Structure 1
Amino acid sequence: MPLPDLFRKHLLPVLFGVLLASSLIAFPFAAQAITAPELRGQFALQDISEDMHGRDLKEKEFLKADLRGIDLSDTDLRGAVINTSQLQGADLHGANLEDVVAFSSRFDETDLSDANFTNAMLMQSRFVDARIEGTDFTNAVIDLTQLKALCGRASGVNSVSGVSTRESLGCR
């Protein structure tokens, strides 16, 4: 019996059996998939109120949230996801938004003074007339048009990081 036939008839079934047995030992339970809505439901914030001052909102999700005029000052929003949300006129003074993802959100006329946006992803978000005195944008990703507009009115130094707003934006 040539070697390929021997392998096909005897060794291949044994090899398959060993692989099957080892996978059952390593993964004894069937994998359970988590769908995107289920995953979002675990972290989505349900109780939005007018006064959320100082709350711990780390890693919460705000998807299409209406946060207009909401007091979010001094909140901990590190790692939060704020996608396609309305924050016009909100108060985020002193808020920690480090590592936040805020895609296509509106921060128009929002008080962002002394806030921390370090490492934030702010693509397609708008900041028209937002108050940014002392805001730290170190390593934040911001659309070029918004960046130029922010540099036009950047001033102050963040009270926690000691970084100037202009420096954190890379303004010339």
Structure 2
Amino acid sequence: MFALLASALLFFIPVFPGIAAMDYAKQVLIESDFSNRDLRGVTFNLTNLLKANLSGSDLEGASLFGAKLQEADLSNTNLRDATLDSAIFEGTDLTNAILEDAFAFNTRFSDVIITGADFTNVPMRDDVLNGLCLAAEGTNPVTGRNTRETLGCN
């Protein structure tokens, strides 16, 4: 009897799909700590992440369109397939970050640390690319790719 009742209850309990991606769009998250987290698919569009810590996090497929990431720590992050268009990276630490297949055509990079970063298949304007090549060095410990080579530096 108990088994019959339990299976009847399970039938009426709704099944929820996986937890939906979080939406932090248009928020002020200055100095927030998002380090070492699963942030796949999260939305940070137009969010102020000044001095935020996202180090070691998985941001694959995340959208950071127009995000302000000045002096933020994105070292050792996975930014594969992320939308970074119109984001501001000034004084940002991208050490060993993986940006493979990210969209960053109108992204502003200024005084960034990109040692060991992997920019494979990331479309960028020539002026931005030339600036990044000046700071490019190292090899990404996960992908084994040289930063200068992933940027196509001469």
Q: Same fold (TM over 0.5)?
A: yes
> Per-residue CA shift, 1:44-97, capped at 9, x if unaligned?
137956211101110111111010100100010000111111000000000000
Matches of 1:42 and 1:73, distance apart in 2: 19
Could you tell me which residue of structure 1 aligns to residue 142 of structure 2? Answer: 160
Task: Give the Å deviation of 1:42.
Answer: 6.1
Q: Quick check: which has more Rg, 1 or 2?
A: 1
| TM-score, normalising length: structure 1 | 0.73
From 18, 39, 44, the equivalent of 2:23 is 44
**Unaligned stretches of 5+ in structure 2?**
1-19
Q: How does 1:135-154 map to 2 (within 5 A)?
A: 135-154=117-136
Counterpart code for 1:45: Y
Aligned partner of residue 82 in structure 1, secondary structure: coil
From 44, 59, 79, the equivalent of 2:41 is 59
Across the aligned residues of Structure 1 and Structure 2, the Cα RMSD in angstroms comes to 1.7
Matches of 1:106 and 1:131, distance apart in 2: 14
> Per-residue CA shift, 1:8-40, capped at 9, x if unaligned?
xxxxxxxxxxxxxxxxxxxxxxxxxxxxxxxxx
Task: Give the Å deviation of 1:131.
Answer: 0.2
After TM superposition, which residue ranges in structure 1, 4 or more long, deviate above 2 angstroms?
A: 45-49
Aligned partner of residue 107 in structure 1, secondary structure: strand
From 91, 108, 112, the equivalent of 1:130 is 112
| TM-score, normalising length: structure 2 | 0.81
Matches of 2:149 and 2:32, distance apart in 1: 33
Aligned partner of residue 64 in structure 2, secondary structure: strand
From 72, 90, 93, the equivalent of 1:90 is 72
Q: Percent of aligned pairs with the same residue?
A: 38
Query: If each structure's helix is expressed as a fraction of its own residues, which one has the higher value?
Result: 1
Structure with the bigger RCO (C-alpha within 8 Å, sep 6+) is: 2
Q: Decide whether the 8 Å contact of 2:89 with 2:109 is kept in 1.
A: yes
Counterpart check, 1:114 vs 2:96: yes
**Unaligned stretches of 5+ in structure 1?**
1-40
Q: What is the aligned residue count? A: 132
